Amino acid sequence: MRPSELAKMFDLEDTYWWFVARRELVRDLLARRRPSGRSLRLLDVGCGTGATLKALDHLGVAVGMDRSPQALRYCAVRGLRRLLRASAEALPVATESVDVVLALDLLEHLPDDAAAVREFARVLRPGGLLLVTVPACPQLWSEHDRALDHLRRYRASRLRRILLDAGLRVEKLSPVIAALLLPIAGLRLIQRILPRRSGRPQTAFIVPPGPVNSLLVALLRLERRWLSRFNLPVGVSLVAVACKR
């Protein structure tokens, strides 16, 4: 990810509705599936600026990994110390040594996403969990994706196939952030219609007033309660939980 976008992420990750909702979703999915009372070995691949890693640090030994030295410096600013600089396709981690691998909005950056998932499966112990989030709906492709150096947006069928081909059992695969699909789709449509700005593409992080941001977080908490029992039909992102056989 570009240094300018990492700086934005660091500034926004603690409070911006998108990051807060994703972090709470991951925490909820783990809480429902982790063995009670047992310390976990957790690897956050593509940990970015570290807010999610810090939120899960209490679960056991949580290690952040990113190929960007700037991202790891931001993690260090948060007080995180268990950090690795490496590529997702070649993890410097022993086979079957990790309980949980997180790959949050990572696969869309990788030329060979399937190779990365096979590597995640390699380091997971039998019964270990992989949690993945990716942007959904190729129809939403926009300047926002280009600014974030995305290579693709996903359909559920593609993500499922990659997980199964790596020898993982898919326990949950659902769209998320359904409530905001129409507003975001409208924004992307406007971006396509308006003349393109010169220079580098820019992300579409629109920071709402505090009360609106809190309302969006609350709305997605309601959505998360639904997700605890059911899947959603549509959404801006996909979330998957897969288990090593």
Task: Please check whether residue 169 is in contact with residue 227, taking contact to mean a CB–CB distance below 8 angstroms.
Answer: no
If one counts the domains in the chain, the total is 1
Residues 6+ apart with CB under 8 A from 88: 45, 46, 65, 67, 103, 106, 110, 116, 119, 120
Q: What is the pLDDT of residues 5-18, one digit of tens each?
A: 899 899 999 999 99
Residues 44-57 pLDDT 10s: 999 999 999 999 99
Tokens, residue 131: 């949690």
Closest CA to 174 of 128, 139, 226: 226
Q: What is the pTM of this model?
A: 0.93
**Mean pLDDT across the chain, nearest whole number?**
93
Work out the average pLDDT over 213-219.
96
CATH number at residue 235: 3.40.50.150
Instruction: Say what the pLDDT of residue 47 is.
Output: 97
Q: What percent of the chain has pLDDT over 90?
A: 79
Residue range 117-144: average pLDDT? 95
Among the listed residues 27, 62, 66, 26, the one whose alpha carbon sits nearest the alpha carbon of residue 49? 66
33-44 burial string, b = 16+ CB within 10 Å, else e? ebeeeeebbbbb
Q: Is the pLDDT of residue 143 over 90?
A: no
In angstroms, the CA 209 to CA 207 distance is 7
pLDDT of residue 138: 94
What is the residue range of 75's domain?
Answer: 3-244
Measured CA to CA, the distance from residue 188 to residue 182 in angstroms comes to: 10
The confidence band for 35, taking pLDDT boundaries of 50, 70 and 90, is: low
CA atoms within 13 A on the CB side of 81: 1
Residue 23 structure tokens = 């972090």
Residue 198 has pLDDT above 70, yes or no: no
